[in-house]
Structure 1
Amino acid sequence: MRVWSKPARVVLVVAGVGLGACVLAFLGALFLAVAPANSVSKEYRAQVDAVVYPEFEQNWKLFAPDPLQRNVAVDARVQTIGADGRVATGEWRALTAEDWAAIRHDPAPSHLDQNLLRRAWDFYESTHGDGDGRAPAGSRGQLAEQYLERIALQRIGPGGDRVIQVQLRATVTAVAPPRWSGEQVDTAPHVRELPWWPVQPEDRRGLS
């Protein structure tokens, strides 16, 4: 069996370490190229592009859809009318906070707690843009409103008096970038308050 001299072993070790470092750096560049935009990929975009393009260009992304980079908290309240005809407006109920409380410390959280309300709000935003009014004519916009409305009514429950209106609002807060990043992000909470939506008896049909 051939015995390598000490200088030869040193050369082999250094070459192996260098080759391994190059492979890791290359795989890291590819990862940043296909990963959603983040503080690291933005900071080293020029270096990543120099490694990946044009020989190793990728036309796919690692995540679909991209991971959320904001926190959305949805609240709801209802307006009721009693047997005496008196109208009362309830307090805001933090629907998203209830979901977070159910998810936290649960090793197998419910899919509904994680996604139902969030996806319903995303659906509403995709059909209503930045305005706060009712949707223009269109089945998707109307469906988004009905979906949100029924979730709120189900979560709040029938109560004692008859519900005549429901209102929702969302507080959107962007996730702050790491301290070492030079990226500037507005992390102030932005509140979007929707108008009161009238509630008809059929709107509660099928709700437990």
Structure 2
Amino acid sequence: MDAYDQGPDARRHRPGDCADPVSALPEDAMTDVTEEPEEQRDAGGAPPAGPAAFPESPSQKSPSPEAASPAPTPRTGIAALSLRYQVAAALALAVVAVAACVHLGMVFLHVAPANTLTKKHGKAIDDWIYPEFEQNWKLFAPDPLQQDIDVQVRAEVRTRNGGERTTGWYDLSALDGAAVHGNLLPSHTQQNELRRAWDFYAASHDGENRTAGLRGALSEDYLRRVVVVRLDREHAAGRGETLESVQVRSRTTNVPPPKWSDEQVSSTPVYRQLPWWSLPDGERTGASA
């Protein structure tokens, strides 16, 4: 019998064999070796789930639903308006878009060559274009304008004591020229309103100031309203006075030819004087007393 055998139930250990793995552990390590609960062994050795197994620290607590949801993005523009105002804004934009499309279509038909639409609806197109939106292509004509035309006006004024006086001539074209000179962004009014009003009148009247077309009365009303506004801007009527009638004239001078040209032109101005126009009650203006 081997010397190391203690009995039939005793384990046979050789000198180089390790002792029992549990008994060979240090004493302090043996305190951590515990038997797994039966429920854990049945589950395959997985640690029990739940708060008892992994207690939450205060910093790891789940946020509340209010804190977890992001703040709503503030609405801007039309979206920030109430439904009623959104509908009103949409309708306003639609009206502006329709008006812009109609205007562009009318201008296109006005400048386009004669076609079926212009022949059938020519009067409606002219009523829309004249006088404010008339198109002028003389800048690109083979024979451009070679004259300076100044539009001048004077007025009869009813004074405070019931008398009448006549103002001097106001050179409205010179006033517009002074406003445009040195102005990087001159307005359309300063550049074209008075000139187009005079061109409209001259195109619809003959040399004797008789109407030569269906738009003669319209051109007179348009030119008269323009000059009345200008006279009021220049304070032609003093305090307690009113404008009673106006008279318009044009002063035409030839543009001098260049020095290298042999062309000879007259430098004497030519005047075209229109009759006096009485002002309706709605157009009489003046400074308040």
* TM tier, smaller: 0.5 to 0.7
Equivalent residues in 2 for 1:22-37 (5 A)? none
Maintained 8 Å contact 1:128/1:141: yes
Equivalent residues in 2 for 1:9-20 (5 A)? none
Does 1:88 pair with 2:165?
Answer: yes
How many angstroms apart in 2 are the aligned matches of 1:180 and 1:164?
50
Alpha-carbon distance, 1:127 to partner: 1.1
Larger Rg: 2
Residue in 2 that maps onto 1:187: 267
One of 229, 249, 253 as aligned partner of 1:154: 229
Q: What SS does the corresponding residue of 1:130 show, helix, strand or coil?
A: coil
1:74-105: CA deviations, max 9, x gaps? 11111012343211111211111110000001
Does 1:177 pair with 2:257?
Answer: yes
1:102-158: CA deviations, max 9, x gaps? 000112211211111111111111111222x4x338541111111111111101117
Maintained 8 Å contact 1:173/1:190: yes
How many angstroms apart in 2 are the aligned matches of 1:80 and 1:116?
25
One of 173, 177, 196 as aligned partner of 1:119: 196
Q: What SS does the corresponding residue of 2:183 show, helix, strand or coil?
A: coil
Any gaps of 5 or more consecutive residues in structure 2? 1-137
In structure 2, do the counterparts of structure 1 residues 82 and 204 end up closer, same or farther at CA, with 3 Å as the change threshold? closer
Alpha-carbon distance, 1:202 to partner: 3.1
How many angstroms apart in 2 are the aligned matches of 1:66 and 1:181?
16
AA partner of residue 126 (structure 1): A
In structure 2, do the counterparts of structure 1 residues 110 and 65 end up closer, same or farther at CA, with 3 Å as the change threshold? farther
Maintained 8 Å contact 1:103/1:114: yes
Alpha-carbon distance, 1:63 to partner: 1.1
How many angstroms apart in 2 are the aligned matches of 1:184 and 1:192?
23
In structure 2, do the counterparts of structure 1 residues 103 and 178 end up closer, same or farther at CA, with 3 Å as the change threshold? same
Alpha-carbon distance, 1:187 to partner: 2.9
In structure 2, do the counterparts of structure 1 residues 137 and 176 end up closer, same or farther at CA, with 3 Å as the change threshold? closer
AA partner of residue 245 (structure 2): Q
How many angstroms apart in 1 are the aligned matches of 2:284 and 2:159?
18
Q: What SS does the corresponding residue of 2:189 show, helix, strand or coil?
A: helix
How many angstroms apart in 2 are the aligned matches of 1:151 and 1:102?
17
Residue in 2 that maps onto 1:52: none
Q: Once structures 1 and 2 are overlaid, which stretch shifts more, 101-110 or 183-192?
A: 183-192
Maintained 8 Å contact 1:150/1:204: no
Percent of aligned pairs sharing the same letter: 44
Q: Once structures 1 and 2 are overlaid, which stretch shifts more, 196-205 or 170-179?
A: 196-205
Q: What SS does the corresponding residue of 2:227 show, helix, strand or coil?
A: helix
Q: What SS does the corresponding residue of 2:219 show, helix, strand or coil?
A: helix
Maintained 8 Å contact 2:152/2:248: yes
Give the number of the structure whose residues are more often helix, by fraction. Answer: 1
How many angstroms apart in 2 are the aligned matches of 1:137 and 1:130?
10
AA partner of residue 173 (structure 2): T
How many angstroms apart in 1 are the aligned matches of 2:218 and 2:146?
26
Any gaps of 5 or more consecutive residues in structure 1? 1-60
Q: What SS does the corresponding residue of 1:128 show, helix, strand or coil?
A: coil
Give the number of the structure whose residues are more often strand, by fraction. Answer: 1
Residue in 1 that maps onto 2:278: 198
Maintained 8 Å contact 2:206/2:212: no
In structure 2, do the counterparts of structure 1 residues 122 and 62 end up closer, same or farther at CA, with 3 Å as the change threshold? closer
How many angstroms apart in 2 are the aligned matches of 1:75 and 1:69?
19
Equivalent residues in 2 for 1:94-109 (5 A)? 94-109=171-186
Residue correspondences, number: 143
